[in-house]
Structure 1
Amino acid sequence: MSGNVKKVAIVWRGDREARNAATKTNSRYHKIFEELEAAGFAPEPAVFDEAFADDLLRQLHAVDAVLVWVNPLDDGKSRKVLDSLLRQVAEAGVFVSAHPDVILKMGVKEVLYETRHLGWGVDTLVYRSAKEFRGAFPITLRAGSPRVLKRNRGNGGQGVWKVELIEPSAGGETLVTVLEAKAGSVPEKIEPDAFVARCEPYFENGGRIVDQPFQTRLPEGMIRCYMCGDKVVGYGQQLIKALITPLPGSGPEALQPGPRIMHPATATPFQPLRAKMENEWTPQMMSALGVDRRSLPVIWDADFLYGPRDSAGNDTYVLCEINISCVFAIPDDAPAGIARELAWRLGRHPGRGC
């Protein structure tokens, strides 16, 4: 390992050319590099692809810490090879964030089921096999309310579907309207059995499907709460279009989300959410999942939709997913927060992160 200066590898996906050309200043992570250097670390780029996985493995064995920004799914590629490498270097004593085992607890949609009893939860179901899904989901759907199905591991709206039963006309066949959250998707009418068959590949390799009620306040937007460890470092507020059926005659712009507006952790409108996240929900989640403070990702986020207003007219919040694998873009204060959190993890000073 290194001497007094801790070496930190920042990992993202790219081809061989990108790996050879990568520097501390020519990627979107340049502010993170700057803050890590300011905190006394020696950060270095570590571009990954399966084609040169052995090169990355050798590089990671020579550092003290690894910070990773790689999506679960990316142009047909997964994290299977990368996660195996990360486990190897973690076993050798290198600090890895986020560790693949922590991602499997926090950064998958099944976390919505495992934490459904918390204040951010709703009526949530999980299907752990294609047989279970075929038998149970149609019964749930016949209750009449739209449901949202979520593939256990994915990103960019892939495998997230709004499903609504269409009441058949006299003598007509039963159909469902389905809309995927992936950018550019449009509603489709399909037979229920055909849609169930479409989703069955999600169960490969131990996959799951999580089932939640559709949140009617979705058009009011989503709040992304960014965390360093167990502390909030900012928010991203965005009007999203995923799972919202466009009006007839709408152009392509109707499918595009609004800009994500960043706010600092101190932003007044979000202080009730901050108090919930720091004082209640994050500690409760850690207890429910068996994740200790030092195992929390250095940077992660929780996406919230607005739930029904309470009896006093205040907003409630419904968790729709936790992102760990590739959290970006991030608020302005997050790079410094990442550096402080990493310093605490590596014992550089006795204070808490963020």
Structure 2
Amino acid sequence: MHKAPKVAVVWRGDREARRTATPQNNRYHRVFEELAAIGIDAEPAVYDEAFAGEMRDQLLTADAVLVWVNPLDDGKSRVALDALLREVAAKGPWVSAHPDVILKMGVKEILHRTRHLGWGTDTHLYRSLQAFREEFPRRLRTEGPRVLKRNRGNAGQGVWKVEAIEPLAGGAAMVRVLHAQRGSVPEELGLAEFMARCESYLVDDGCILDQPFQPRLPDGMIRCYMGGDRVVGFGHQLIKALIPPPPEGPDSEAAQPGPRTMHPASAEPFQTLRAKMETEWTPQMMEVLGIDRASLPIIWDADFLYGPRTAAGEDTYVLCEINVSSVFAIPNQAPAEIARLVAERLSAA
């Protein structure tokens, strides 16, 4: 008798969430439904460090493991989980996204490594305090407002818009900064004081990315959802991160981001971006990072801001970040594509 392949779906939760989880009572229920529809047995695998050993035993019984866990979540990181997933993957089950792939694709450093691609911009990277202290003030002085990004984070954590208030002649210069986390308001402080705030981003082999601020930010962000190396949909959202809140305050309705409007991969306004992602930028990224098609995450997204228009008035696109660790919500078409890719990869294995 043929045995259906088994997939474990991982997300973070407490002991009670693990005890009560079913394929129907969570935000990933559409993924469970689509897997079941093609004969794949999927089960919840709620994770927390407190019962990591129990989950390890569960994952080792699966043929594949699909993971939705943020890099930073309520003070917790993925360090222990990533070690567990590496161990599990080494013993047989296929893991998506594998932690080693996340470290290549799902960190801000990719903005520097791929800056020469068509999605790139004037991007710099600081790996040491000395380089940060020596180079960033000069860049801010000569090149205008900049955006600093810590290497790993989510929900705007460690992403700052920085602009000079007065000529940056010395260490006492004043800057205006705005954190990308929701509810943030602009601050005015000394450049040296702000830079000291960012120094923690460099510990434990961390780094800081430095890019020019994109003036067309108010036009919104395009989230390009990818299933492996193919576009599975788009989301467009009028974001408010790095935009000063209105006079009503950061908690007012006017300060909240607009809804993310989902579109299928075939949506006409995004066909230029789709073609570039599928035929140019994704293959080029894979070559730069040393990632083959089979290692690409089942679901990931590339967030784009609008760059300067061309002389002919056409849009250009600047990569803002790539999300791999926990991509959700997703377009309506994506769960079926996830299931199809899971089946394809299990068959290949």
The TM tier, using the shorter chain, reads over 0.9
Distance 2:147 2:99 in 1: 26
Task: For residue 283 of structure 1, report the CA deviation from its aligned partner.
Answer: 0.3
Secondary structure of the corresponding residue to residue 310 of structure 2: coil
Runs ≥4 in structure 1, deviation > 3 angstroms?
A: 168-173, 247-251
Structure 2 residues without counterparts, runs of 5 or longer = none
- 1:352 paired residue number: none
Secondary structure of the corresponding residue to residue 194 of structure 2: helix
**Structure 2 counterparts to residues 31-50 of structure 1, below 5 A:** 31-50=30-49
Distance 1:152 1:167 in 2: 29
**Amino acid across the alignment from 1:186:** V
Task: For residue 3 of structure 1, report the CA deviation from its aligned partner.
Answer: 6.3
Matched, 1:260 2:221: no
- 1:179 paired residue number: 178
Structure 2 CA distance for partners of 1:159 and 1:169, relative to 1, 3 Å: closer
Secondary structure of the corresponding residue to residue 245 of structure 2: coil
- 1:274 paired residue number: 274
Contact 2:141–2:167 (CA<8 Å) still a contact in 1?
no
- 2:286 paired residue number: 286
Task: For residue 248 of structure 1, report the CA deviation from its aligned partner.
Answer: 3.7
- 2:222 paired residue number: 223
**Amino acid across the alignment from 1:163:** V
Contact 2:119–2:319 (CA<8 Å) still a contact in 1?
yes
Deviates more, 1:127-136 or 1:224-233: 127-136
Task: For residue 144 of structure 1, report the CA deviation from its aligned partner.
Answer: 4.4
Secondary structure of the corresponding residue to residue 9 of structure 1: strand
Structure 2 CA distance for partners of 1:62 and 1:132, relative to 1, 3 Å: same
Secondary structure of the corresponding residue to residue 283 of structure 1: helix
Distance 1:331 1:266 in 2: 12
Distance 1:295 1:4 in 2: 25
Distance 1:250 1:66 in 2: 43
CA displacement 1:60-105 (0-9 Å, x = unmatched): 0110000000000001000000000000011011100000000000
Matched, 1:30 2:38: no
Deviates more, 1:261-270 or 1:172-181: 172-181
Secondary structure of the corresponding residue to residue 204 of structure 2: helix
CA displacement 1:166-220 (0-9 Å, x = unmatched): 1159999520111010000000011111111100111121111110000000000
Distance 1:208 1:10 in 2: 31
- 1:74 paired residue number: 73
- 1:11 paired residue number: 10
Task: For residue 26 of structure 1, report the CA deviation from its aligned partner.
Answer: 0.1
Contact 1:222–1:306 (CA<8 Å) still a contact in 2?
yes
**Amino acid across the alignment from 2:91:** A
Distance 2:44 2:94 in 1: 16
CA displacement 1:260-302 (0-9 Å, x = unmatched): 0000000000000000000000000000110100000000000
- 1:316 paired residue number: 316
Contact 1:235–1:331 (CA<8 Å) still a contact in 2?
yes
Deviates more, 1:273-282 or 1:166-175: 166-175
Identity across aligned pairs (percent)? 68
Secondary structure of the corresponding residue to residue 332 of structure 2: coil
Contact 2:171–2:192 (CA<8 Å) still a contact in 1?
no
Distance 1:217 1:176 in 2: 21
- 2:347 paired residue number: 347
Distance 2:247 2:170 in 1: 27
Contact 1:144–1:165 (CA<8 Å) still a contact in 2?
no
Task: For residue 246 of structure 1, report the CA deviation from its aligned partner.
Answer: 2.5
Distance 1:39 1:191 in 2: 59
Distance 2:163 2:94 in 1: 45
Contact 2:246–2:255 (CA<8 Å) still a contact in 1?
no
Distance 1:276 1:245 in 2: 32
Distance 2:59 2:2 in 1: 16
CA displacement 1:127-149 (0-9 Å, x = unmatched): 11222212211111111410000
- 1:150 paired residue number: 149
**Amino acid across the alignment from 1:46:** A
Contact 1:241–1:254 (CA<8 Å) still a contact in 2?
no
Give the TM-score taking structure 1 as reference length.
0.95
Give the TM-score taking structure 2 as reference length.
0.97
Secondary structure of the corresponding residue to residue 66 of structure 1: strand
Contact 2:137–2:168 (CA<8 Å) still a contact in 1?
no
Distance 1:249 1:87 in 2: 48
Distance 1:298 1:101 in 2: 14
CA displacement 1:291-330 (0-9 Å, x = unmatched): 1000000000000000001121110000000000000000
**Structure 2 counterparts to residues 53-132 of structure 1, below 5 A:** 53-132=52-131
CA displacement 1:15-45 (0-9 Å, x = unmatched): 0000000000000000000001111110000
Contact 2:172–2:192 (CA<8 Å) still a contact in 1?
no
Matched, 1:327 2:327: yes
Deviates more, 1:168-177 or 1:88-97: 168-177
**Amino acid across the alignment from 2:308:** P
Cα RMSD of the aligned pairs, angstroms, is 1.8
**Amino acid across the alignment from 1:274:** R
